[in-house]
Chains A and B, each alone.
Chain A
């Protein structure tokens, strides 16, 4: 029997998701954002989710839509303000959603650490700022650092460009961003790809995320482009 991580239904991709899960959502703004999987999560209906992402969604599409459905209790991100953000802002102002602000590089490194079996690390980022309050400090070679802990997740929702049935992923341009490290940090990484190819077509020199970090894959060949969807007034569901 052959290994085959490819699924045909989004519901199958999300079948293990549960209430209270911690879910990483790839993407930087709209680049690399797994919009179809996020819409699948709305259809799934899981509640009390903790979302780890760089941003907090735009409009009422993708992550913005999921938050708008009140399925999210907490967002861990670096930048929760954006010109097109609506839903997070509404809930935050009403005190109905929690926010943990993390410097972007610390966010990336906490995710990378989780995927690499590193429980915590010291960093100079945020030393002397409000985001260092309550964190352990240590001096190395005369310079002050703070302790930051790894960020693990139950699931990662990721958009990649191309995959084979093993989950050997390549990404497109700056849509790579957080996606590869989130695949490493989550117990289950769930990937939507633009195109599936046969394993012999995969160039091993070009694989960005090797299949060991991937649980399930689905082909979404013509994904929603967030900017266009918002301009067209799309609201999901």
Chain B
């Protein structure tokens, strides 16, 4: 059955819905690094049937939530330089050890935002090619984490597809993304293209193809 196209009055999944889909795909006892911004929402949707340990690349394993105003310590921050907390069982380490966790393949999942993702899993998320270039830990995360999930809106603010045949922006990594979660669908990166795992209940595959560059299939 072909479902109707998305109208302006309708929207894709809310961010919280996307976050909960990712949260459900993170297995119990995973070590996870959540990118700054939208991916941070994922931690709010982890169910009680599992415990996830969060890594922050500035040397914190076992990161907890934002502190209360009176508990803020500017020596306890996350990779976005915002105050956080440490949970019981957490630990601190220096930067080389922290990035060995990433580069040595010890982080099970990282969830990152995207400007563009290509059919073969290339990711562009660090530079628009303008302004001061600043990469942070993004290239280490995509090269080192066992599984790289992308969480993003399906379209840019200008309505252009973010899922493309070939990235036009400077790459963060080549062939690194395993799964993409958007407001329209959940898709695996495969040799044949974007394989739909789940599609927004308001959308058809045909419509999804019209807003995606590169092959979409089920």
- Determine whether the beta carbon of A127 is less than 8 Å from that of B173: yes
User: Could you tell me the distance between the alpha carbons of A127 and B142 in the complex, rounded to whole angstroms?
Assistant: 10
For B, the interface residue count at a CB cutoff of 8 angstroms equals: 41
Per-residue CB contact flags for chain B residues 168-181 toward chain A (1 = under 8 Å, else 0) read 00111111000000
User: Could you tell me the distance between the alpha carbons of A88 and B136 in the complex, rounded to whole angstroms?
Assistant: 16
B116–chain A nearest beta-carbon distance, Å: 13
- Determine whether the beta carbon of A29 is less than 8 Å from that of B77: yes
Contact of A31 among B75, B86, B99, B171 (CB under 8 A): B75
A28-B77, A130-B170, A174-B60 given. 7 additional CB < 8 A pairs?
Answer: A99-B132, A105-B57, A126-B139, A127-B173, A129-B174, A130-B127, A174-B75
- Determine whether the beta carbon of A178 is less than 8 Å from that of B95: yes
Per-residue CB contact flags for chain B residues 51-91 toward chain A (1 = under 8 Å, else 0) read 00000111110000000000001111100010000100000
Given contacts A31-B58, A78-B137, A174-B58, contact A105 B102 (CB under 8 A): yes
Residues of B within 8 A of A125 (CB): 103, 139-140, 143-144
Query: Residue on B with the closest CB to A29?
Result: B81
B74–chain A nearest beta-carbon distance, Å: 6
Interface centre among A28, A105, A175 (most CB of B within 10 A): A105
Decide yes or no whether A202 CB sits under 8 A from chain B. no
Question: Which segment of A10-18, A59-67, A107-115 sits at the interface?
Answer: A107-115
User: Would you call the interface of chain B mostly helix, strand, loop, or mixed?
Assistant: loop
Among residues 156 to 182 in chain A, which have CB atoms less than 8 Å away from a CB atom of chain B?
171-181
- Determine whether the beta carbon of A112 is less than 8 Å from that of B76: no
Decide yes or no whether B133 CB sits under 8 A from chain A. yes
User: Could you tell me the distance between the alpha carbons of A123 and B94 in the complex, rounded to whole angstroms?
Assistant: 19
- Determine whether the beta carbon of B132 is less than 8 Å from that of A173: no
Residues of B within 8 A of A82 (CB): 81
- Determine whether the beta carbon of B170 is less than 8 Å from that of A99: no
A127–chain B nearest beta-carbon distance, Å: 7
- Determine whether the beta carbon of B74 is less than 8 Å from that of A105: no
- Determine whether the beta carbon of B75 is less than 8 Å from that of A175: yes
Per-residue CB contact flags for chain B residues 132-157 toward chain A (1 = under 8 Å, else 0) read 11111111100110000000000000
Contact of B75 among A32, A111, A129 (CB under 8 A): A32
Decide yes or no whether B96 CB sits under 8 A from chain A. yes
Contact of A101 among B59, B73, B75, B133 (CB under 8 A): B133
- Determine whether the beta carbon of A80 is less than 8 Å from that of B103: no
Query: Residue on B with the closest CB to A209?
Result: B94
- Determine whether the beta carbon of B144 is less than 8 Å from that of A124: yes
User: Could you tell me the distance between the alpha carbons of A223 and B175 in the complex, rounded to whole angstroms?
Assistant: 45
Decide yes or no whether A226 CB sits under 8 A from chain B. yes
For A, the interface residue count at a CB cutoff of 8 angstroms equals: 49
Per-residue CB contact flags for chain B residues 92-113 toward chain A (1 = under 8 Å, else 0) read 1111101100110000000000
B102–chain A nearest beta-carbon distance, Å: 6
- Determine whether the beta carbon of B77 is less than 8 Å from that of A31: yes
A132–chain B nearest beta-carbon distance, Å: 9
- Determine whether the beta carbon of B135 is less than 8 Å from that of A173: no
Given contacts A29-B81, A130-B171, contact A124 B103 (CB under 8 A): yes
- Determine whether the beta carbon of B137 is less than 8 Å from that of A105: yes
Query: Residue on A with the closest CB to B86?
Result: A173
- Determine whether the beta carbon of B94 is less than 8 Å from that of A129: no
- Determine whether the beta carbon of A174 is less than 8 Å from that of B144: no
Contact of A127 among B75, B86, B103, B143 (CB under 8 A): B143
Residues of B within 8 A of A226 (CB): 74
- Determine whether the beta carbon of A181 is less than 8 Å from that of B94: yes
- Determine whether the beta carbon of B96 is less than 8 Å from that of A108: yes
Query: Residue on A with the closest CB to B80?
Result: A29
Given contacts A123-B103, A130-B171, A173-B86, contact A79 B96 (CB under 8 A): no
Given contacts A28-B81, A172-B75, A176-B94, contact A109 B174 (CB under 8 A): no
Given contacts A81-B132, A129-B172, A174-B92, contact A108 B99 (CB under 8 A): yes
Decide yes or no whether A104 CB sits under 8 A from chain B. yes
- Determine whether the beta carbon of B132 is less than 8 Å from that of A80: yes
Residues of A within 8 A of B132 (CB): 80-81, 88-89, 92, 99
Decide yes or no whether B131 CB sits under 8 A from chain A. yes
User: Could you tell me the distance between the alpha carbons of A2 and B56 in the complex, rounded to whole angstroms?
Assistant: 41
